[in-house]
Amino acid sequence: MTMARATTTTVALCFLLSCVFSALTVDRPTLAASAPPPTASSTSSIIIDDIIRVLADTTTAARIRTDAEATAQSSTDFGTNVTVDAARPAAVFYPSCAADIAALLRASSASASPFPVSARGRGHSTQGQATAPGGVVIDMASLAGPHSATASRLAVSVDWRYIDAGGEQLWVDVLQAALAHGLTPRSWTDYLRLTVGGTLSNAGISGQAFRHGPQISNVLELDVVTGTGEVVTCSKHKDADLFHAVLGGLGQFGIITRARIPLAPAPARARWVRLLYTGAADLTADQERLIDDGRRGGALAGLMDYVEGSVLTDFQSLIGSWRSQPPSSFYSAADAAGIAALAKEAGGVLYCLEGALYYGGASDTTAADVDKGVEVLVRELRYARGFAFVQDVSYVQFLDRVSAGERKLRGEGLWDVPHPWLNLFLPRSHILDFAAGVFHGVLLHTGGAASSGGPVLVYPMNRGKWDGATSAVLPDDEDEVFYTVGILRSAVADGDLRRMEEQNAEVARFCEAAGIPCTQYLPYYATQAEWAARHFGPRRWDTFLRRKRKYDPMAILSRGQRIFSYPLA
């Protein structure tokens, strides 16, 4: 589709929608005095049905579907914890450009009863956050499809070292486009089959965040369609309030249709390191030395480019973990026997420090530099001696390591199962209390997390690398270092889902009883009161609510998050 055709189609769509809403809000006959007023949901359904009927007679009909297949697909997500019928939208919308999205949002905003609209990337939420029950789900992938109004949704500027990426683009494709010019983004998620707009609406974290900050701290500019249907290009220097609101904003203020991401010279290789520990104190102390800015870390400070960690309540989870699969196994049969013995000696819980050192390619680091770095790590870190494992892989293989695990699980029919994930941010001052109560308590004594299929991550980040003006929420604590804990499980057997959800609730109760101030990452709460009190707190809630009133006053966007409803309170 050419730009001229897309513009004409969008203008036609706007005209058709305005005609529908004029008829609905002005020319609809007055109800008899004895008739009860329509509810908000029934009115929204009538409005959407009218829009669909008008569009069906135009050339835009291919861009909206109401059939059971399309609406069912947009009613579920990676978590598969939502009932399809309860989450089913009235329609799925397939835009060719940002102007199409703007037209849809203006139509909803102008109606007497605005219908909900949610943007869907790859459906990787876990609690139905991207659903729009009774409303319209926007299929963002269609922005790069055959009817797209733009020829390319990935454009690299070598001179200025940035990439413009459509909000629907996958990070793995962003990586490949940048590498073609010897460049790379600096901050990543561990799983690259996520969309740019999706991760930027949350935060986007992984083992690089200690150095470069989350992905929301690595954005130069955004194109956003607000809840009122306004298309805005924003940055720290232009419409900064919207820019910061959208980053980490859980889809509440606008839909990201383009992001400008800074790039750096790309390495070619990664020295991938795994070290086993028998206690949380040694693991976290070493992690903090590795992420230090040089004042306390000594020879270890900044030595690794990537620092994460995991908790193992079943040594088999380390050997056969789906999440981080190298081209060949880290461990021999003899290693496996040794790890089993170490786990038994440690009382059933082991810890793994996982990291990487990048080199070669366009970077300044050489293989010799990395050899020396690994020597320092093996000498200085406090891991269980004899349990250091190293592999050398390509930079792409390391960043995209989770995809191998995905293929394995898909092949075994274990990918599309419920995922009752729990992600938390914790202050450093409480991480050992949490480890004692949860890793050695709740998870170990109720069957173990790893044995039920799923990694348990624990790693530190530096607060100073996060932009406090964004909508992301961190622990309300003065610690410069805070931890992320990800309990990322798959419910495979009968009873797993209920048991895991009960464990998650028990973790929350433990933190409250122990006075551990934790904040959910990828949060989910059932009511606005819970969001305000338990997630944001008074000060941040006031800012979040002010921004909502400004950019989405009809509460059209992302009602699946259960933060706001119409009318906006």
- 103 by DSSP, 3-state: which? helix
> Which residues share a beta bridge with 234?
222
The sign of the CA dihedral 458, 460, 463, 468 is negative
For residue 509, give Cα distances in angstroms to 29, 192, 518. Answer: 54, 33, 11
Q: Amino acid letter at 193? A: R
Active site residues: 124, 190, 308
> Residue written as tokens 């048991």?
499
Q: Which residues contact 53 (CB under 8 A, 6 or more apart)?
A: none
Residue 556 to residue 541: CA distance in whole angstroms: 19
Tell me the H-state helices in 256-353: 280-291, 315-319, 333-345
Q: Amino acid letter at 463? A: R
Nearest to 431 by CA among 274, 312, 281: 281
- 255 by DSSP, 3-state: which? strand
- Structure tokens that stand for 174 in this block: 């962003």
Q: What are phi and psi of 304, to 5 degrees?
A: -100, 150
- Structure tokens that stand for 377 in this block: 């790590």
- 311 by DSSP, 3-state: which? strand
Peptide bond into 29 cis (omega under 30): no
Q: What are phi and psi of 306, to 5 degrees?
A: -140, 130
Contact indicator for 406, 193 with CB cutoff of 8 Å: yes
Cβ atoms within 10 A of the Cβ of 34, count?
A: 5
